[in-house]
Structure 1
Amino acid sequence: MRVYGRNVFREILYSNFPVRMVYFSENGDKELVMLIEQAKSRKLPYTISPKKILTRLCNFDKHQGVVVDIGEFPYKDESSIIETENGKGFFVILDQLQDPHNFGAIIRSAVGAGANAIVIPKNNSVKVTPTVVKVSVGTIFRIPIVEVVNISRFIEKIKKVGFWVYAADMQGVAYYRANLKRPVAIVFGSEGEGIRRGVKQKCDGVVSIPMKNSIDSLNVSVSAGIILFEVARQNENIDS
């Protein structure tokens, strides 16, 4: 997979994420020259090519002079995150989310709020794509993305090790009144259907965002940002 953008590349450098090749456009500005120097100092494989070559590589002309081939995205195994959460875990579970822009925005909020992992189902769900990486502004490289076969079974497993799991839905207790202390997981549903009934039944409770005016609902990435930072607020004195 090829991702693009200067901030994305900075996040790759910050996270020491492995790359196959970095493509820089020729005749770059001072900022691009500095990024090339960083690639050189890290001994990353790179090449300098005409801008049209980079556009062809990523099928996008606003790549800011940087395209990075990261190969196949490395999803994490569920057992690895369950075993390392140490009773302080904070997971974000996405039940069949479909829109890559929503996925990228949720990743950015999850990282900012201090989540330990994002969990998605292997089937009927958006995957990590260059668009997801771009919308996340590269923060996806700071957090494990976990694929599981069955969301309901995953919820059962983490509840056995002490997690409280809450579904984010329109009908539930106000999110700021719920006890969202770690270890905790928040489930968000798909854009059209919300959380599946079977998944919701596995949760310990339902949290909602009270509305001052009559509207159907907020965009899922907006809802996620609000609720995830409430989790961060309630856990601000707990080491993550």
Structure 2
Amino acid sequence: MGQTQQQEKEDIVVGRNSVIELLKGQRAIECVYICDDTPAKGQPISRIVAMAKEKGIPVKRVDEKKLEHMAPGLHHQGVAALAAAYEYSTLEDIFARAQGEAVFIILCDSIEDPHNLGAIIRTAESAGAHGIIIPKRGGVGLTPIVSKTSVGAVEHIPVVRVSNLVNTMEKLKEKGVWIYGADMDGQPWDKTDLKGNIALVIGSEGFGLSRLVKKTCDVILSLPRKGKINSLNASVAAGILMYEAVRQRG
């Protein structure tokens, strides 16, 4: 078994009582998986679902085969939870890291591919960004695959997970941060001032920026497209924009 597979297995908690105790604790949880098959029904499952929803943790309905794949050979009782590989930071941690510099933040709007998120975190740390913000729902969290793809960058840059990305964007604006979203119909990326307090928003792989996130951005930036494909990989687009900000900020 490879290192990533082994680590991912260790972050899977199975069984009704074990998952309930995990939900009672303080450890960050990426997702709770509930089997739709008959053995998984009953009062403990209803309690798990209610506890997860109260804490804002996504609950996914899956079949028996999925749970067996996640926890081979383990008695899962129709329920499993994926715990975060790392602890999340706070918004205050990001501003503290800036230490008086113009703050530089990356927001990920529903990035679903763990390899993309890992690559974005790796580039952000290299580019001197002060932190990453991701949503609790609709995107991948700090899974073992994200950690491995980041090549250890998750150890060196704060990653904040928020319940509402739009509300967080509004809080950043109140702190004097300008929000720049990456999308197809914006102004040229290399003719925009990125030297102050800024946050770059990168949309999902398939759909780009969500409607409310795009509406909340102060400026939309676009990269030129010369070929037939109408979009770039999310981590590639993020890297280009981050290093344009690095270039401008000296």
TM bucket (normalised to shorter chain) is: 0.5 to 0.7
- Cα distance in 1 for partners of 2:178, 2:249 equals 14
Cα pair 1:87 1:182 within 8 Å, conserved: no
Count the aligned residue pairs.
172
AA at the equivalent of 1:204: D
Q: TM-score, normalised by structure 1?
A: 0.67
AA at the equivalent of 1:198: L
SS in 1 for 2:238: helix
Q: TM-score, normalised by structure 2?
A: 0.64
Aligned to 1:75: 88
Which of 162, 166, 178 is matched with 2:176 structurally? Answer: 162
Aligned to 1:224: 238
**Mapped pair 1:117 → 2:131:** yes
AA at the equivalent of 1:80: D
Aligned to 2:143: 129
Name which structure has the greater RCO, CA cutoff 8 Å, separation 6+: 1
SS in 2 for 1:146: strand
Cα pair 2:183 2:208 within 8 Å, conserved: yes
**Mapped pair 1:187 → 2:201:** yes
Cα pair 1:78 1:147 within 8 Å, conserved: no
| CA deviation profile, 1:144-191 (whole Å, cap 9, x unmatched) | 000111111111111111111110001111111111113100001111
Cα pair 1:107 1:139 within 8 Å, conserved: yes
| CA deviation profile, 1:46-73 (whole Å, cap 9, x unmatched) | xxxxxxxxxxxxx9xxxxxxxxxxx851
SS in 2 for 1:211: coil
What is the CA RMSD across the aligned residues, in angstroms? 2.3
AA at the equivalent of 2:194: L
| CA deviation profile, 1:95-131 (whole Å, cap 9, x unmatched) | 1110000011111111111100000011121011111
What residue ranges of structure 1 are gaps of 5+ in the alignment? 5-58, 60-70
Work out the percentage of aligned pairs sharing the same amino acid. 43
- Judging changes above 3 Å, is the alpha-carbon distance between structure 1 residues 142 and 3 closer, same or farther for their aligned structure 2 residues? farther
- Cα distance in 2 for partners of 1:106, 1:83 equals 21
| TM-aligned CA deviation for residue 194 of structure 1 | 1.1
| TM-aligned CA deviation for residue 222 of structure 1 | 0.6
AA at the equivalent of 1:142: H
Which of 156, 162, 165 is matched with 1:148 structurally? Answer: 162
